[in-house]
Amino acid sequence: MEAHEYREPIHPDSGRSGGLLKKVGGGAVAAGLLLAKFGTKLKVLLVALPKLKLFTTSGSMLVSIVAYQLIFGWAFSVGFVLLLLLHELGHVIQLRREGVEASAPMFIPFLGAVISAKSLGKDAAAEARVGLAGPILGSIATLIPLGVWLATGEDLWRALAYIGFFLNLLNLLPVLPLDGGRAMAALSPWVWFVGFAGLIALTIFFPNPILILVLVFGGFESWRRWKARNTPEAKAFHDIPTRTRVAVAAVYLTLIALLAVGVAETYFERDLGDV
């Protein structure tokens, strides 16, 4: 498979007034995350921004924190951006382990964070490892606010734990170009279409402009890769050992189960006022 430019925005959200958990746990969070995944289509913007000194990793993190604090306040915004950073660093670390040069994360307020790489690795197993690395490191990072919440009982830390678990879980939907879709590259192209069918059902029952964008852009990439499935390059890319496929499936399902428990245990409906 030819090397290609890979830019993966993740995890923004846009909230409304109300309790902190309601802000981070509502539909705006899901919409923001999914919108960010398709920020890659803003190619001109993403190519231009790294050329500005302001948009280094640290500088762009600061800009994002300032932007998010207008909605969530300083404490939550700092924690939120750090969770995004650690998730994205999971992808960067694994890309470099695969021998692929990857940029440091760059943050774009209300779009999330992006990294740049020429490919996702030499084969589908590498793509799956890169896809899963973000949720793995992101989930480990979320254990920090979880532990602080369990020790102190403060709702700020519960909210950070919830959003960390939630965003990493949502990223594991088996739909391209989300992290779960990347992981499914090591299994079968049919999994993409099963996930895509589920997304269609979700859009019908919960119509949302963001879900429509997911269907459009995810559909294009899924269809492109499906059409190319019988080319020599694609066959070589997906020719990986069965034990590797089993290992990817085991890690993927385990992550989903653990993150689902984390989301359930940290979510609660309550107006926290000015927490």
Q: Which residues contact 4 (CB under 8 A, 6 or more apart)?
A: 118, 119
| pLDDT score for 105 | 83
- Residue 12: pLDDT band with limits 50, 70, 90: very low
**CA of 172: how far to CAs of 97, 192, 220, 272, 273, in Å?**
21, 12, 19, 29, 31
Q: Which residues contact 86 (CB under 8 A, 6 or more apart)?
A: 137, 138, 140, 141
Distance CA 256, CA 148 (A): 23
Q: What is the mean pLDDT of residues 151-177?
A: 91
Q: Number of C-alpha atoms within 13 angstroms, CB side, residue 145?
A: 25
> Cβ(127)–Cβ(182) under 8 Å?
yes
Q: Where are the alpha helices (DSSP H) in 108-208?
A: 124-152, 155-171, 179-183, 189-205
Distance CA 69, CA 53 (A): 22
Distance CA 173, CA 214 (A): 11
- Residue 136: pLDDT band with limits 50, 70, 90: very high
Q: Which residues contact 249 (CB under 8 A, 6 or more apart)?
A: 187
Distance CA 95, CA 20 (A): 35
Closest CA to 87 of 5, 214, 172: 172
- Residue 29 neighbours by CB distance under 10 Å: 21
Q: Which residues contact 103 (CB under 8 A, 6 or more apart)?
A: 50, 92, 115, 116, 117
- Residue 1: pLDDT band with limits 50, 70, 90: very low
- Residue 270: pLDDT band with limits 50, 70, 90: low
Q: What is the pTM of this model?
A: 0.75
Q: What is the mean pLDDT of residues 66-95?
A: 90
